[in-house]
Structure 1
Amino acid sequence: MPVVYLIRHGQASFGAENYDALSDLGWEQSRVLGRHLREQSLGAPRVLCGAMQRHRETAEAALEALALPREWHTDPGFNEYDHQSLMRVHWPESQDRAALARWMGEQAQPRRAFQARFEEALRRWQRGEDDYPETWAAFRERVLASLYSLANGLEKGDSALVFTSGGAISVAIQHLLGLDDEALITFNRGLINTSVTRLLVNTGRLRLATLNEHLHLSGDLLTYR
């Protein structure tokens, strides 16, 4: 039975000018993931990447550790939603890095406080209260279209590695478990960097086999953002 491995990218550079680049820890997480995947029966996996830098860098490090060619098919359908546009609509002041840094410095738990504001922005987006470059419905549709296009092209014994983001993985989980929109936030909050979510494919139908696997990570390597 074909297997799809949905892989969340390594830790990105939160607070840096270019969030999309992996942090040093993100690179190490990705190499550890690759070494872990050597133990799986992957054969010659099909490799897909979203078009984001953090997807490509995670794939590059993991594939090198797997001793596989650093080659993949880029599918922007697996890109994350545009978190900057969501925050720009919901919390315009967050676009000023200096103002944001001051605000976070005033919080007792800065990351938790920021996460709460971000989740408010996500819910506002899901409710469709404002204009966004991509709606919640359109985001779900493109992620699932890419996922099922991949699944329909796999044959018995095939495997596929998909390097993507937490939002896209959460959409797949929400869809396969028949959950409401809040599931995006629930699962996205808990998905760990370089975690693996496995889907089994049966004649184009998908079934969730495992969720958020991260046994390859421990200590400081285990991060959520």
Structure 2
Amino acid sequence: MTTIHLVRHGEAVWNAEGKYQGQADSGLTELGHEQAHSAAAWLRDSFPRIDGVACSDLPRVRDTAAPFLTAIGHSPQVDSRLREIDVGSWAGRTFEEVATAEPASVAAAARGEDVRRGGGETFAELRRRVVAALDELVASHQPGATLVVFTHGGPIRVATAAALGVPIPGHHPIGSPDNCSVTTLAWNPRRLLAFNQQTIGTR
């Protein structure tokens, strides 16, 4: 059984400011860097054998992965398909600003409709690219490998939906995982082993 440990990035500036982020990047806060170091220690203690590491190419994820990669001496497979969902024109705007400007779209998203946020991606599109990236990552390692993937909340939600066999897009019933939490999936066959595990130092 190949196991994938999905790690959400540490707190970013726009997380703290209540802003949509998507594929834009605001950098980690001081707390976010602290969370990254705590998560690195938790991962080393919890999973002493790691066969491979992959990460999104966005700075907040790569900065989150850095302490763990330094500790284990691995180089990651960097894959842009592991990026957060593209929220288009919503990026960098507060939740309140967008709700005021586009109430119908925000209400539809809240109901679970797979709207194209800010003209960006749908969750169905996100799920297809994330699952393709994970399929290729797993295929590049021996069966039974233990893999760590540093990514974002949206990709973790759709990967979890895929592991549970929830029809596409599948994101709506699955809440956003906390910063630097770890969600563990079996990938062949797919199933959810643990969701939103807390690492020391998160909040």
Q: Does 1:57 align with 2:63?
A: yes
In the alignment, is the contact (CA less than 8 A) between 2:112 and 2:172 conserved in 1? no
Residue 69 of structure 1 is matched in structure 2 by 73
- Out of 123, 136, 150, the residue aligned to residue 123 of structure 2 is 136
Residue 73 of structure 1: CA displacement? 1.1
Whichever residue aligns with residue 132 of structure 2, its letter is: A
- Out of 189, 213, 217, the residue aligned to residue 200 of structure 2 is 217
Q: Secondary structure, in 3 states, of the residue corresponding to 1:162? A: strand
Q: Secondary structure, in 3 states, of the residue corresponding to 2:155? A: helix
Q: Secondary structure, in 3 states, of the residue corresponding to 2:129? A: helix
In the alignment, is the contact (CA less than 8 A) between 2:85 and 2:122 conserved in 1? no
Aligned Cα root-mean-square deviation (Å): 3.4
For 1:3 and 1:39, the matched residues in 2 are separated by 16
For 2:148 and 2:50, the matched residues in 1 are separated by 10
| Higher mean C-alpha deviation, range 138-147 or range 161-170 | 138-147
- Out of 19, 34, 42, the residue aligned to residue 36 of structure 1 is 42
Matches within 5 A, 1:111-190: 120=107, 122=109, 126-128=113-115, 132-179=119-166, 184-189=171-176
Residue 110 of structure 1 is matched in structure 2 by none
Whichever residue aligns with residue 177 of structure 1, its letter is: L
Give the structure with the higher percent helix: 1
Residue 3 of structure 1: CA displacement? 1.5
- Out of 16, 24, 27, the residue aligned to residue 21 of structure 1 is 27
Residue 206 of structure 1: CA displacement? 2.0
- Out of 182, 186, 199, the residue aligned to residue 185 of structure 2 is 199
Q: Secondary structure, in 3 states, of the residue corresponding to 1:211? A: strand
TM-score (norm 2): 0.78
Return closer, same or farther for 1:20/1:187 CA change in 2, 3 Å cut-off. farther
Aligned length: 193
Residue 122 of structure 1: CA displacement? 3.9
TM-score (norm 1): 0.71
Runs of 5+ unmatched residues, structure 2: none
Runs of 5+ unmatched residues, structure 1: 89-93, 105-112
Residue 7 of structure 1 is matched in structure 2 by 7
Whichever residue aligns with residue 3 of structure 2, its letter is: V
Return closer, same or farther for 1:140/1:27 CA change in 2, 3 Å cut-off. same
Return closer, same or farther for 1:120/1:9 CA change in 2, 3 Å cut-off. farther
Residue 129 of structure 1: CA displacement? 6.7
In the alignment, is the contact (CA less than 8 A) between 1:192 and 1:212 conserved in 2? yes
For 1:201 and 1:138, the matched residues in 2 are separated by 20
Identity of aligned residues (%): 29
For 1:75 and 1:24, the matched residues in 2 are separated by 25
For 2:182 and 2:111, the matched residues in 1 are separated by 28
| Higher mean C-alpha deviation, range 131-140 or range 29-38 | 131-140
